Chains A and B, each alone.
Chain A
């Protein structure tokens, strides 16, 4: 009986090979220690499955949806956000006259530098944000998605 479950694996693999939207994975972010009046850095590490790409923060064409991290709540004040530099790639769906696309693939990181206000409340707090991306493969594109980003900040 034990072997019966093995027979489903090839079928499952074949079914999974149909085109489906990729999921961007975001690593959980360890608690950030933030001292009032100083700076703090948060690195968001994310990854796309092999064979997929998302537009970089500075896409080649204005009609493309950029990778965008937005901090929406929490005690820290955003000073700067540094996105991964996109690699330029050509894809099978592009016309010969099209410019290569600026994309991110695989694992990438987005670094945010924060200012910790001197009047921030002491203790743990949640810093929240969203990461928006729009991914494609060689044949199709998938609707933009927004992933929540949550960081625990320990202010002292």
Chain B
């Protein structure tokens, strides 16, 4: 009985040490986050709709984009990793727009358009930007790390989620896969 206790104690300690090691290793080495595969159609959840304003004060709803593949990017001007992805998204917008694709940037800048507009001009961003808020972030599961990007299918369902800096090819593969799939009418 006593040896069984020792055995379980040893296993528990080893597992705890493994877990703690994983935790420390992840934080110290900051390996790239796991890739976000495109979910099968049956596993996709509806992307929450929202109403946000663009730089001209025009109300933009996610549902306006139904029938298109949408790359929904939560970002901010002060976010270095976001700055890496923005040129990719600009390229995707140019490359795939005619196939029914749109990038929609949700800026989480507290200072609003006075900060965003010069940045958009400088980076020559060619897709629509709307000003986000905490409520929008909460709708999408509490967006805290930026960038956080959702790739949404033609039915308005979330096909993949990318938290933090992701790979250009990863995004492009997801976009192409979704563009090749017609709308099914299964969006809620």
A49 partner residues in chain B, CB cutoff 8 A:
27
B165 partner residues in chain A, CB cutoff 8 A:
92-93, 139-140
A50 partner residues in chain B, CB cutoff 8 A:
27-28
User: Are B76 and A3 in contact, CB atoms less than 8 angstroms apart?
Assistant: no
B30 partner residues in chain A, CB cutoff 8 A:
51, 92, 137-139
B36 is an interface residue with CB less than 8 A from chain A: no
B15 partner residues in chain A, CB cutoff 8 A:
6-7, 9-10
A138 partner residues in chain B, CB cutoff 8 A:
30
User: Are A134 and B78 in contact, CB atoms less than 8 angstroms apart?
Assistant: yes
CB closest chain-A residue, reference B29: A51
B27 partner residues in chain A, CB cutoff 8 A:
17, 49-51
A69 is an interface residue with CB less than 8 A from chain B: no
Binding site for A on B (CB under 8 A): 8-9, 12-13, 15-16, 18-20, 22-23, 26-28, 30, 32-33, 76-84, 108, 110, 115, 119, 144-148, 163-165
Q: What would be 25 A-B contacts, judged by CB atoms less than 8 Å apart?
A: A3-B8, A10-B18, A13-B19, A13-B20, A14-B19, A14-B22, A14-B23, A17-B27, A20-B145, A63-B78, A64-B80, A91-B80, A92-B165, A93-B80, A93-B165, A101-B80, A137-B164, A138-B30, A139-B32, A139-B33, A139-B165, A141-B78, A141-B79, A141-B81, A143-B110
